[in-house]
Amino acid sequence: MTIKITSENFQKEVMESPIPVILDFWAEWCRPCQMLGPIIEDISNELAGKVKVGKVNVDEEGLLANQYRISSIPTVMAFKQGKPTAQVIGLLRKEDLLKRLGL
């Protein structure tokens, strides 16, 4: 299950997470984002307990998107111990996405 990440819960859910976090920066109007959605859900279910998976709607959370310089969506970022460790822009197959994120 993915978590909706907002400015209010970002600190707790991402920065203070004891396990790695994957964030999907997306928007409802973005077709590739919609195509990536089921892949993100699969990863969330497959890695439950090992990795936390969150979604950031860039239209609702512009400050978070700006903070991480998100200029293209979909962008998926991996965080470990509150620090960004990898970033992937665009639509990829699940296996390729996991590989590029180092998972």
pLDDT digits over 69-103, tens only? Answer: 999 999 999 999 999 999 999 999 999 999 999 88
Q: Where are the alpha helices (DSSP H) in 1-103?
A: 10, 31-46, 62-67, 94-101
The mean pLDDT of 17-32, rounded to a whole number, is: 97
Query: What is the pLDDT at residue 67?
Result: 96
Q: What does the pLDDT look like over 25-75, one tens digit per residue?
A: 999 999 999 999 999 999 999 999 999 999 999 999 999 999 999 999 999
Structure tokens at 9: 């819960």
Both tokens of 100, joined, read: 């590029």
What's the gap between Cα 54 and its chain centre?
5
What homologous superfamily does CATH list for 3-101?
A: Glutaredoxin (3.40.30.10)
The set of catalytic residues is: 30, 33
Tell me the whole-structure pTM to 2 decimals.
0.95
pLDDT for position 103:
85
